[in-house]
Amino acid sequence: MKPDTLPEFDHTPRVAERYQRPRSFISWTGVILGLILGIAAGLGYTWVFDPVEEFDTQPWQLNEADRAQYIVAVMLDYSHNADLNLATQRLASLRLPRDFIQEVADVACTLTTEGYANNSSGLRAVRAMMTFYQLQGRSGCADTLILLDDTPAPQVVRIEPPTPTLTPPATKTPTPGAVDRAAGTPTLVIVPTSPPQSDFEIANIPTSCSASRPGLIEVQVVDFNGQGIPGQQVRVTWDGGESTFATGLKPERGPGYADFEMQPGLSYVVDMPGRADPSQPLTATSCPLEGGGRSVITYRVVFRPVG
C-alpha cells in the first residue's frame, strides 16, 4: 500500500495586495485640506464676525494717510490754543526720520494738490498748517497755491433815503439821520451782516454704561457718508468752565473722534463753535452695570452736516 501523497506547496513569492500594505498614520492630503479650511474659517471670523478693534495705537504706528490726518488735527488744535510746545510734542511723537516741521509743509502740499482744500473745512486746515510751518521758517508748494488769507472785504451797499418832508424838532443830542438843508440829502452807508450759519447738527446722543470708560462725552464728527472728519473744533462748557479740543487726536478711535471726561454730578453742553448749535445738558449721573455695581454714564454725541 502506497503512502498518502503529501500536497505540494507553492513556494513562489506572492505580490502583497493593497489591503495588506502597511498604512501611514498621517494623511498629508487631509492635513493640507484641514489647514486651508482652518485658515479660511479663522480669517472669516476675525474679518467679518468679530474684527479686531485697535486700542492705544501710537502716532508713530500710523500709516501715511492716517498720519496726515493726525497732523491736520494737531495743527487745527494749535491754531486754537497757540500752544507751540504741545504741538511740537505731538508732532515729535510721530518719530519721523526727518524734520517734522517740514513734514507739515509737505503734507499741506500733498493735501492741496489732491483737492483737500476745495471746501471750507479743508481750506481752514491747510491755512493752519501754513501758518505753523511758515513761522518756523519752512516752505512748501501750498504757499504758491493758496493765499494765507484771501477773505474778501465786506460789500458796501449805499442806500439813498427819500428826502424828508418834516423838519425834526431841535434837541440837545443830534438825531441820527437828521437832514442838514445846507449840506443836502445825506447818504447812508450800510454794511450788511448776517449771523453765522450752522453747517453741522447733532444727529443723536445715545448713552451707555461702562466700567472701562466711565463718565465720558464721546464725540464723533462725520461727513455725509458717515466718515470721520479730523481737526474739527469741539467745545464743552459747564458751570464755571469751558474746554475746546479737536477731533482726530486719538486716531485709534477714528479720525473724527474726540472725548471729554466728566465730573460726577455736573452738567455739560457740547457744541461746535460757530458751526453747530449746543446740545441739551448732559449730566454725569450714576448708572447700573450689567454684571452688578455702578458706574458713571457715557454720552456719545454725533455731529453730521446739515442737509
Q: What is the DSSP letter of 292?
A: S
In the prediction, which pLDDT does 84 show?
Answer: 82
Q: What is the pLDDT of residues 52-109, one digit of tens each?
A: 555 567 888 888 888 888 898 898 888 888 888 888 888 888 888 878 888 899 998 9
Spatial distance between the Cα atoms of 224 and 72, rounded to a whole number of angstroms: 20
In the prediction, which pLDDT does 15 show?
Answer: 53
Mean pLDDT by 10 residues, the chain (307 residues): 56 55 66 84 72 67 86 87 84 84 89 84 86 85 74 42 51 48 45 56 91 92 89 91 89 89 93 90 92 91 90
In the prediction, which pLDDT does 16 show?
Answer: 53
Domains and CATH numbers, the chain: 59-145 (no CATH), 200-305 (2.60.40)
Spatial distance between the Cα atoms of 129 and 107, rounded to a whole number of angstroms: 9
In the prediction, which pLDDT does 59 show?
Answer: 83
Spatial distance between the Cα atoms of 190 and 293, rounded to a whole number of angstroms: 63
In the prediction, which pLDDT does 98 show?
Answer: 78
- Is the backbone of residue 82 left (phi > 0), alpha (psi -120 to 50) or beta? left
